[in-house]
Each structure stands twice: as C-alpha cells, then as structure tokens.
Amino acid sequence: MSRSVVGTRSRTRRATREALAELAIPLPRMRVVDVLREASLSAVRAPARTLLNALGTILGVAAIVSIMGLSGTARGAVSDSFDVLRVTQVTFVDSEQDRTVGRDGRAAGSSLTLRAQESVAGLNGVVDAGLFWQFADGRPQPVRRFRTQGPADLSTPSLPLNVASARALTTNRAVVVQGRLFDAGMEDRHARVGVLGVVAARSLGVTRVDRGPVVYVRDTPITVVGVVGDVQISGTMLNALTLPTTTAEDLGLDGEREIIVRTAPGAAQTIAGQGPFAISPLAPGRVTALAPPDSSLLRNQVQSSLTSLLLALALIALAIGVVAITNVTLLAVMQRRSEIGLRRAMGAAPRHIALLVLTEAAATGTIGGFAGASLGTLTVAVVAAAKGWPPVLDPMVLVAAPLLGTLAGVLAGAYPARKATRITPIEALQR
Amino acid sequence: MIELDLDAVAVTYPGVPPVPALRPTSLQIRAGELVGVVGSSGSGKSTLLNVLGLLEHSTAGVYRVRGVDTAVLTERGRTALRGVQFGFVFQAHHLLADRTARENVELPLLYRKVPARLRRRAAVQALRRVGLGHRLDALPGTLSGGERQRANIARALVQQPRVLLCDEPTGALDSASSEDMVGLLQGLNQDGLTVVVVTHEQWIAARLPRRLRMQDGVVVEERPDGVTPGERTDGVTTGGRP
Ligand SMILES: Nc1ncnc2c1ncn2[C@@H]1O[C@H](COP(=O)(O)OP(=O)(O)OP(=O)(O)O)[C@@H](O)[C@H]1O
Ligand SMILES: [Mg+2]
C-alpha cells in the first residue's frame, strides 16, 4: 500500500491556494447576512426544537432574574425594618478643634446652642432635637441635700451632672415617674430647677417632689421638679441630676455639647448632611454628624452576606443553565448530522458549520433570555405581592438578562459547534 | 481532456480485519463522458463514487482533478473544490425538510457568497430545467418521490458543476420516473456535463456508453458493445500497483 505517499505530501494553505488558483476556484465564503438568515430560518422553521433548546436558558435566566429580584425585594424589606427601628437618630457634635473647654469650664465658642437646636428642629424630617451635655465628662460632683458651710466630705453624695434643654428631655423620651419635666419657659427664665433620675433620687433620699425639695450644687439651691424613670437615648440620666442649659451655663457647668436628633424613618442620612449647615451656616465644617454606627454596621453585614449568598446561587443557576443548553445543543447537532454533512457536501467549510451552530445557539439563547427575564419578573411580582413587599428589580437586570442569554448560548454552543465541525459529508449519505 | 484521474487509488476501512472497499485502482474519466457503475451490493460502488466526489479520503494512491493533486488540499480547499467541481444526486433525496424546494436548491450558493437575488434566480432556473418550475415554494414533504429527486438534481446543477455524481438516483423511483430521470441525465450529458451514475438496474446500464463493473473492490471496464477491457487504450488496471 502506498499510504505514505498521501501522508508525506504537504497540505498547506499555500499549496491549496495555488492548486485552487490553477482551477480558478475560490475558497468557500459566506456572507454575514446569510449566516444570520440561515440560523434564524433553522430556529423559526423548527419551533419545537428551538423551544427545547431555549428551555435551559429560559429556566436559567428566569432563576437568575428572580433570585436578583427577590433578593433586592427581601433586602428592601429587611432594611426597611432596620431603618424604622434604629436609624432614626443623628447626633451632632463640635468638630475636634472646637471642643476645647476653657479654664473657667465654658466651651470656647461651641456652635451647639439653643438657637442651633431650634434651627435643626425646623429641618424637614426632624421629629425632635435637643441640646445635651455632661459636666466634667460625667464624673460625679458633690450634690448636697442641705446647705452647709464646710467642705465636701466622704458622706456627701456625688452625682453626675447632666445638662439638657427642655427639648432634649422630650427628644430623649424621658418618662416621668414623679412630678414633671422642666419646660422651655423655665429654661428661658434661667430657673434654678432640675430633674433627678430614679437611682439618683434614691441615693439623695428624695422620695416626694410635690413639696419642691431642694438640692445644692456649688451652694446654689436647685428645686427638684420631677423624677424620671426611663429614657431612650441617653441612659446616663437615670443616676444623674439634670439641669436646664441656661441654669448650667450660669453655674459655669459646661461640657462637650451634642445636639441629639430624632428623625423620620429614612431621613437620618439627609439630616446628617443638612444639620451642620443649619447649626453653623457660615462654617458647617465646625460641626460633625455622628450616625449611630452599630445598627448601620450590622445592616451592612447582613446585606453583604445576603448578597454574596444569592450571587453564588445565581451563578450556580447560570452554570446549570449553560450545561443544560450545551447538552440540548449537542443533542440537536447529533440529530442534525445528516443536515450538517449535507451542507458540507454542498460546499460549506467546517467554519461555516461552526458559525451556523454558534449563531443558532446565540439566537436561541437570546430568545430564551427574553422569555426567562419575563418569567423571572413575573415570579418576583407574584412573590412580592404574596408577601406584601414592594417589588424591587434593578432595570439593569432586565437589560442584562437577554444579553446573558446570548452569552449563555454562545458559551453553550462552543463545544457542540466544535463537535459539529468534525461531522464529515459522508455522514449525510449513510442514512 | 482528462477530468478525473485515479492513479492506484485505494480505500481500506479500518477494522479487524480491515475492509478493502476499493482496491488499488487506476481510472480516467474524460470531460463530457457518461459513465455507469454497476456491481453487486457491497462491491464498493458508493466508495468509488465518494472518492471521486472528494467526500471520502483515499488511503493510498494519487487522485487528480483536472491535473491538480487533491492530496495537497486542506479541508477547506477540498470543500471548495468539491462544491464547485461536483454536483451530487443520492438515492435518498437528502433535502432539508424545513426548507422549500427553492431554498434547498439555493443551498450550495450560500457558501459561494452569491447575493440572495442571484441565488434565487439561479435556483428558479435550475428547478425549471428539471421541470419543477411550478413547485418552487413546496416543502420536500409535499413533493412526490420523482419530484424530490428532480429537486435534488436541480440543487446539484445550480452552481454549474463540471461533474454530476449520482448514486442510484432511480433507487426510490417507479419505472416511469426512472425513465424520466435517465432521459434527464442523458440530456444534461449532451449539454456537456460529465456524468457518473451508480446503478444496479441493467436497463439503465445498457443505455450508458461506458460502463464499469465492480466486484469486491475491483473495477473492471465493461463496454456495452462487448469489446473486452484489454482493448481499450484509456482502460483500467486493477489489482495492485501498475
Ligand atoms: N464506513 C465504513 N466502515 C467500514 N466498512 C465500510 C464503510 N463503508 C462501507 N464499508 C464497506 O465497504 C464495502 C463497500 O461498500 P459500498 O457502500 O461502497 O458498497 P456498494 O457497492 O455501494 O453497495 P450497495 O449497492 O449496497 O450500495 C462494503 O463491504 C461495506 O460494508
Ligand atoms: Mg452504495
């Protein structure tokens, strides 16, 4: 046998070109429109096969869209409850360089004043705002039950001294167990009044406030108008004596001031941004907003773990989709061996066969992507309606979904296309 | 002019034992010839035809088309030559079921970058030539066996091949349709087309001017006028390298 004769002759492109030139035969070529036309004709004329092919994409893309949509919707619901419960509080403090306290105990020009408090309270989305500080960082100060001449000794009770505007008491949701809170009128009059926390009242031996008991701070008589039993924001009030801001300023009791703001749900971010301008319009940089760090951090952690989990699920769905389409496309290629062989016999080069399979897979993938996106959207809408959540679906997901289908089609078509190029024309004839 | 030239070409299918479907054969077919190939089932007729049509690779020997050695061609080059040089008519019609007669006939032109309008015109012409001008938009499933085979021939003719290779083109036809088919092939041959027909029907073989008989992979030249193979000048040698 002279098999070797065939083997040793070089089958190069150059030799091919020369041989074909001798016979005046061009290499097979296909127009792009014809590739697209053939692929879409095959897809349209065999709708059952196309549907079967698209099924993997439809399910895959539908899974991805509904996972994205449901995670967005659920996340919206979760963050809604977080926001309503927690993120309705903003605290404004003086920026670092303005917190220096003078030797006499007065703040060196803090922007946080009663006027600033009123400006903040007037902002849209603010429920209440109050000026508050602790004298000497909350270190206990001697508070006597009776006026005495001698120096303070160990038997003298000591209490932290809090300073709050009348508004701060309501902002703090102070709950009165006896008497009343001091009000704005008393504050205006620089009244020598104060409010005791339940713990402080017990340690001072104040059991009733109806007769106006008096305690002495730096020998100034302070009439106790009420006892508070519960507060929401600043727990330090329970074992402290709390004085109006005007009175405290008279007594030289200053400290690091803050304006505590309670906002409408969802307004915290906005108020945090606007607050410094309301407090210090000429130098907003002197004021810093503190959003409560704990709850937002928690929320972010919950969100990011939820997102990565769902993203992983979506990717698995995509992978399953691609494998499914690959299988079905491969099956379709095998079923169409004779058609492919026939095209080869009619002059289609292997690359044209690959192109046909790929284009058809891409077209099928795109159709599946559209159908899947619709199905996924429907799923999100139905689930959201059943749960009573507002459906949240990023429009970009809907734009990307059909493209994802195309991509899945191309990915899934690659291997079958490669397989299809191996089909020889002779296979068309052996049936 | 020598159109197709087999020089000690053989095809052996791998297997245990290997199947020598075509033993080393030297054979020349000139332009404009009308050649019949006969022989019993399994004798290698289809194998010979497939090698001639570049559908099958030979495992030995040299095959030249119009003087060009086909062994130098890459797969794409082979495809190019096959698509332009040959038209195929098979026993089974092999039309795409989801394409109309016209679309099926256009198929070979798709790979020659022929614009749609010209494709359409050529397909209609070819279908008229085989007498199917009235069924242009019919799907193959709605055509009769004879009509399908004529659509098949139209598709083989649409790119104006130099050689028509037919493997039992009348195998699925009744005798009247077969008669038409043979007349059609003879007409095409008279127009200058080289035609090679595999058939197992004696009456068809009897009407062809040149005849090859195959037996167990061996090609024997046979002439209807009874002249013995040895007397031919352009004859056939078989059974090993010359
Ligand atoms: N792909 C193949 N692999 C192995 N053997 C094959 C293959 N194709 C054909 N053969 C064998 O080669 C021999 C010749 O086959 P071929 O198809 O050429 O016969 P044929 O003369 O056309 O027969 P028929 O008249 O039945 O069509 C047979 O023995 C067949 O079994
Ligand atoms: Mg056969």
The answer, as to whether pTM is greater than 0.80, is no
- Kindly determine whether residue A424 and residue B76, on different chains, have CB atoms separated by under 8 Å: no
Instruction: Give the per-residue pLDDT at A8.
Output: 43
User: CA–CA separation, B69 vs B145, rounded Å?
Assistant: 38
Question: Residues B54-79: pLDDT tens digits?
Answer: 999 999 999 999 999 999 999 889 99
Q: Which residues of A touch B24 (CB under 8 A)?
A: 1-2
- pLDDT of residue B242 exceeding 70, the answer is no
Predicted local distance difference test score (pLDDT) of residue B232: 42
ipTM of the complex: 0.85
Residue A426 to residue B50, Cβ atoms within 8 A: yes
The 3-class secondary structure across chain B, one letter per residue, is CEEEEEEEEEEEECCCCCEEEEEEEEEEEECCCEEEEEECCCCCHHHHHHHHCCCCCCCEEEEEECCEEHHHCCHHHHHHHHHHHEEEECCCCCCCCCCCHHHHHHHHHHCECCCHHHHHHHHHHHHHHCCCCCCCCCCHHHCCHHHHHHHHHHHHHCCCCCEEEEECCCCCCCHHHHHHHHHHHHHHHHCCCEEEEECCCHHHHHCCCEEEEEECCEEEEECCCCCCHHHCCCCCEECCCC
- Closest ligand (CA of B219): 1
- Which whole number is the average pLDDT over B128-145? 91
Collapsed DSSP state (helix, strand, coil) of residue A236: helix
**From the list A16, A30, A339, which residue is nearest B96 (CB)?**
A339
Ligand 1 pocket list (CB less than 6 A): B 13, 15, 19, 21, 39, 41-47
Q: What is the mean pLDDT of residues B204-214?
A: 91
In testing the pocket of ligand 1, which one of B46, B213, B214 has its CB within 8 Å of the most ligand atoms? Answer: B46
Q: How far is B57 from chain A (nearest CA, A)?
A: 10
As a residue count, chain B comes to 242
Nearest Cβ partner for A30 among B72, B88, B110: B110
Taking contacts as CB-CB distances below 8 angstroms, the residues of chain A near B80 are 20, 25-28, 347, 349
Nearest protein CA to atom 2 of ligand 1, as residue: B13
What pLDDT is recorded for position B229? 46
Question: Between A363 and B194, where is the model more confident?
Answer: B194
Ligand closest in space to the Cα of B37: 1
Higher pLDDT: B229 or B20? It is B20
Atom of ligand 1 nearest to the CA of B44: 18
| A6, A28, A42: residue with CB nearest B79 | A28
pLDDT attached to residue B161:
93
Which residue is closest in CA terms to ligand 1's atom 17?
A: B46
Mean pLDDT of chain B: 87
The set of residues, in sequence order, having a beta carbon less than 8 Å from that of A81 and lying 6+ positions away, is: none
Q: What is the separation of C-alpha A78 from the centre of its chain, rounded to a whole number of angstroms?
A: 10
- Cα B89 to its chain centre, rounded Å, is 6
Q: Is the pLDDT of residue B137 over 90?
A: yes
Q: Which two tokens stand for residue A341?
A: 């062989």
Atom 28 in ligand 1: which residue has the minimum CA distance? B42
Residue A398, class by beta-carbon neighbours within 10 Å (0-12 exposed, 13-18 middle, 19+ buried)?
middle
* Centroid of ligand 2 to alpha carbon of B42 (angstroms): 7
| CA dist., res. A314 & res. A145, Å (int) | 69
Report the candidate in B133, B187, B191, B183 with the shortest Cα–Cα distance to residue B160.
B191
Contacts of A19 (CB under 8 A, 6+ apart): B68, B69, B72, B73, B77
Task: With beta carbons under 8 A apart, name residues in chain A contacting B67.
Answer: 22
- pLDDT given for residue B23 in this prediction: 94
What torsion do the CA atoms of B48, B50, B55, B61 make, to the nearest 10 degrees? 10
CA A11, A14, A16, A18 torsion-angle sign: negative
Ligand nearest to the CA of B52: 1
Q: Is A122 exposed, middle or buried (0-12, 13-18, 19+ CB in 10 A)?
A: exposed
Distances A227 to A75, A217, A224, B2, B179 between C-alpha atoms, Å: 42, 17, 8, 121, 120
Q: What is the pLDDT of residue B126?
A: 93
For chain B, the straight-line distance linking the first and the last C-alpha, in angstroms and rounded, comes to 22
Nearest Cβ partner for B72 among A3, A11, A45: A11
B44 Cα–ligand 1 center, Å: 6
Q: Which amino acid is at A112?
A: L
Q: What is the pLDDT of residues B17-67, one digit of tens each?
A: 999 999 999 999 999 999 999 999 999 999 999 999 999 999 999 999 999
pLDDT at residue A302 in the model: 61
Compute, in angstroms, the gap from residue A106 CA to the centroid of ligand 1: 110
The pLDDT, as a whole number, for residue B165 is 95
Rounded to a whole number of angstroms, the distance from the CA of B112 to the nearest CA of chain A is: 5
Asked which of A310-314, B112-116, B200-204, B220-224 is least confident by mean pLDDT, the reply is A310-314
The reported pLDDT for the residue numbered A153 is 60
Is A14 an interface residue toward B (CB < 8 Å)? no
CA dist A186 and A194 (Å) reads 10
Mean pLDDT over B153-182 rounds to 89
| Domains of chain B (ranges, CATH numbers) | 2-94+162-222 (3.40.50.300)
Give contacts of B113 with chain A, Cβ < 8 Å: 29-31
For residue B226, what pLDDT band results from cuts at 50, 70 and 90? very low
Write out the two tokens for B131: 């007498």
Q: Which of B43, B167, B168, B197 to mutate to test the pocket of ligand 1 (most atoms within 8 A of CB)?
A: B43
Amino acid B32: pLDDT: 94
Give the minimum alpha-carbon distance from B227 to chain A in angstroms, rounded to a whole number: 31
Below-70 pLDDT ranges, chain A: 1-10, 75-87, 97-108, 147-155, 232-235, 266, 291-308, 311, 314, 428, 430-431
What is the pLDDT, as a whole number, of residue A361? Answer: 87
**Positive/negative CA dihedral, B127, B131, B135, B139:** negative
- Amino acid letter, residue A363: A
Contact B47/B12 with Cβ under 8 angstroms?
no
